[in-house]
Structure 1
Amino acid sequence: MTPTDSTAIDHAHPAELPATYWQAARRGASGHCPRCGGGELFRKWLKPVDRCRACGQDWTLARADDIPAYIAIFATGHLLAPLMIMLILDFDMSSWAASAIIIPLATAMVLLGLQPTKGAVIALQWWLGMLGFKRERPDTSPISDRK
């Protein structure tokens, strides 16, 4: 394999597993491998890579389906509801004028929120060992194999 091959695995740097789900979710939401944080998680906007080029994790098992869209729409609605109320009640803006502001803003927020949300959902699936993922957690117990 050549170094430019997207399937080449970097064995020089072993995977540093995240200590918590939130660390894995942060990695996934930023578009990086939730397992190691070293490789990219997406090869296209919402299409995960087959394997992480840094740690070799197989991401073909990830099935986020519609959950990222539901979460992005839910968050957008809750963030824009106060703005809609403020525009219409406080600024006496017509419904048409408020819609001219809210609809493009809502569309942009949902589209920009989809990939980070999908990355966090994929991180959750990996963290919990769902859908065939191997459940990997760093040993955080203070006492290991003591009798």
Structure 2
Amino acid sequence: MTDQTYIESSPPSVQADDRPIWPALARGWRRKCPNCGKGPLLHGYLKVNDSCQSCEQELFHHRADDGPAYLTILIVGHLMAPLLHFAFVTWRPEPLTLFTIFAVGCVALSLYLLPRLKGAIVGYQWSKRLYGFGKPD
């Protein structure tokens, strides 16, 4: 394959890569606009704003759907299952005590993670220009 063939067959990727992914993920995790990092991404608990109040970036394009809930369940399950096993084997608490402690822990961790993971998914979609975020800035 010659250099000329490679250049002609490779797709232009400059536009798709000009939005850095890690800052967008971090801004989304903080529930801020993935573009400017100043305006709020969410209003209420999980509702994404239609646009940023600071930079007017349109945010209604997102398609987070069930992704944040799936990731929340995945993370909480992988953290709590080993802890539950460790607590049961080590201390052998009463079942009702064990259930109460871990039920509260699972709910609290889920409530903490869900909006942050939704923000991170919206930030990822923005950085990769997925769905309607592909329009030029």
TM-score by shorter chain over 0.5: yes
Q: Once the 2 structures are TM-superposed, how far is the Cα of residue 111 of structure 1 from its aligned partner?
A: 1.2
In 1, Cα distance between equivalents of 2:94 and 2:65: 37
> Between the two proteins, what is the percent identity of the paired residues?
34
Q: Deviations over 1:98-120 (max 9, x none)?
A: 11110111011111111000000
Correspondence 1:82 to 2:82: yes
User: Mapping of 1:32-47 within 5 angstroms?
Assistant: 32-47=32-47
Q: Once the 2 structures are TM-superposed, how far is the Cα of residue 95 of structure 1 from its aligned partner?
A: 3.0
Query: Which residue matches 1:124?
Result: 124
User: Mapping of 1:1-147 within 5 angstroms?
Assistant: 20-134=20-134
1:33, 1:40 within 8 Å by CA — same for their partners in 2?
yes
* Higher relative helix content: 2
> Structure 1 pair 98/136, CA: closer, same or farther in 2 (3 Å)?
farther
Query: In terms of mean alpha carbon deviation, does 115-124 or 89-98 score higher?
Result: 89-98
Whose relative contact order is higher, 1 or 2, with alpha carbons under 8 Å and at least 6 apart? 2
In 2, Cα distance between equivalents of 1:106 and 1:21: 29
Letter in 2 for 1:47: K
In 2, Cα distance between equivalents of 1:126 and 1:100: 39
Q: Deviations over 1:112-142 (max 9, x none)?
A: 11100000000111111111112679xxxxx
In 2, Cα distance between equivalents of 1:121 and 1:113: 12
TM-score normalized by the length of structure 1: 0.75
Q: How many residues are treated as equivalent by the alignment?
A: 120
RMSD of equivalent CA atoms: 1.8
Query: In terms of mean alpha carbon deviation, does 113-122 or 88-97 score higher?
Result: 88-97
Query: In terms of mean alpha carbon deviation, does 89-98 or 69-78 score higher?
Result: 89-98
Letter in 2 for 1:50: D
What is the SS of the residue equivalent to 1:51?
coil
Q: Deviations over 1:49-70 (max 9, x none)?
A: 1111111111111121111011
Q: Deviations over 1:15-59 (max 9, x none)?
A: xxx963111111011011011111110121101111111111111
Query: Which residue matches 2:9?
Result: none
Gaps of 5+ in 1: 1-17, 138-147
Letter in 2 for 1:62: H
Gaps of 5+ in 2: 1-17
In 2, Cα distance between equivalents of 1:130 and 1:136: 12
